Structure 1
Amino acid sequence: MNTSFERCENTKVEWLSPPELVACLGEFDLDPCSPINAPFVHAKHNFTTLDDGLAKEWFGRVYLNPPYGRGMELWMEKLKFHGNGIALIFARTETKCFFEHIWNDADAILFVKGRIRFYHVSGVQGGTPGAPSVFIAYGKENAKVLKDCGIEGRFLALK
């Protein structure tokens, strides 16, 4: 099995957020990036690649662990305009995505201490990725959740 997070050639690999971390963030209404046949879910409603979650209308409080790589900024832009949710992405703070959709638009961020061990769609927890992770909150209520969630790291209010 290929366990690389950043270099995966000619194959589609989905890495799932650890359910124990997402549970710290409360209940979510929608996960627009849920894998097909997920071993666990993070929201009441879930869109898979078959549903094309990016094209669907989002509702309620959203949990977003978008597909990493090319096109990720489209998911972050949609969450930014939706204005109610928490995303988990790599903490690549110098990127165009961070400058266009996070630094000036998110309400808060939580840099996770250490590296998150994501899960593979088989339900097996993998190794650590090649980059640190950050939770991003859109909406004042979600910023408060990040501040109080108990996930070890550094919280920064942006608004």
Structure 2
Amino acid sequence: MTINSGLFTSNKQDWETPTELFNNLNEKYNFTYDLAARSDNAKCKKFISPEQNSLNVDWSLLEGNLFCNPPYGRELSKWVQKAYETSLEKSEQIVFIIPARTDTSYWHDYIFNKAEVIFIRGRLKFEVDGIAKDAAPFPSAIVIFNGKSYLKNDL
């Protein structure tokens, strides 16, 4: 078996969302925008492309629930921060699929006690050109930003 070397490097930032997972989430949230997509892998009719630079778009002006499988590179914390801050202004929900790297500062600053978190059992098989490939080398989570506060853990 050949293992995709992109799974073990930070050079790969555009992990394509597994279609079945997206469809299950979309059934519940009825997304209007995919915040980080290309025309060949967008999960919603409306999407923000890398050329449009989603981090420079005002997400609070976008109607409906928003979906995002952001780039997993060094700027991931900026995406998470923006989702949290936008959720304080927006009544709809912003749903992210991200690595479950709970030791990072952005998890502590913008997710814990500030968003609903669903940890995904097992490892996601991200897609390449719509075909599931090797399992990711990291656990993943679904993070739902909705502007609500959650119980604070004082540990």
TM-score normalised by the shorter chain: which range applies? 0.7 to 0.9
- Distance of 1:37 and 1:61 partners within structure 2: 21
* Identity rate, percent: 26
Tell me how many residue pairs correspond in the alignment: 138
The residue number in structure 1 matching 2:122 is 114
Which of 85, 97, 104 aligns to 1:88? It is 97
Q: CA deviation at 1:53?
A: 1.1
**Any idea what SS the aligned residue of 2:55 has?**
coil
5+ residue gaps in structure 2? 88-92
The residue number in structure 2 matching 1:73 is 77
Q: CA deviation at 1:91?
A: 0.6
Which of 6, 9, 13 aligns to 1:7? It is 9
- Distance of 1:85 and 1:44 partners within structure 2: 16
TM-score, reference length from structure 1:
0.77
Instruction: Return the structure number with greater helix share.
Output: 2
**RMSD of aligned alpha carbons:** 2.3
1:124 aligns with 2:127: no
The residue number in structure 2 matching 1:147 is none
**Any idea what SS the aligned residue of 1:74 has?**
helix
CA deviation digits over 1:40-96, x for unaligned, max 9?
A: x32231011111111112213111111012010111111112212110001111111
- Distance of 2:44 and 2:81 partners within structure 1: 20
The residue number in structure 1 matching 2:90 is none
